[in-house]
Homo-oligomer: A and B are copies of this chain.
Amino acid sequence: MSAVLPVIDTAASACCSPITGGVMDADEASTLAATFKAMGDPTRLRLLSMVAASDNGEACVCDLNELLDLSQGTVSHHLGQLVKAGLLTRTKRGTWSYYALVPGALPALADTLRV
């Protein structure tokens, strides 16, 4: 039987060659580095964990904003970064914006760190 590979077509999925799988070329390194860079900020890491921990796996900015001692504009900026990095999705319902983890994005990133 052949293995079925779930295809996740995000920025995160593009960086799947493990770090320890030989010398990386510049392009691959840039792509993967962009994702790690998005996670290289405490606020964004907390946002990720808050989204992951919220009910239904999604949270709106109003909830996130209260827990962080930052202006609304700053939080929105960080959320935008995470979306751009392919780690979060944004869904607008009415006045609210709901953010959720991109399925498989974090595990795909974890795979690049496997030995």
User: A residues within 8 Å of B by Cβ?
Assistant: 19-24, 26, 29-30, 32-34, 36-46, 48-50, 52-53, 67, 101, 106-107, 109-111, 113-115
Contacts of A37 in B (CB 8 A): 36-37, 40-41
Cβ B33 vs Cβ A45 within 8 A: yes
Listed from nearest, the 3 A-B pairs whose CB atoms lie closest are A37-B40, A110-B113, A29-B42
Chosen A-B contacts, 10 in total, with CB atoms closer than 8 Å, are: A19-B49, A21-B49, A22-B49, A23-B53, A32-B42, A37-B37, A106-B113, A107-B114, A107-B115, A109-B113
Contacts of A107 in B (CB 8 A): 113-115
Query: Helix, strand, loop or mixed for chain A's interface?
Result: helix
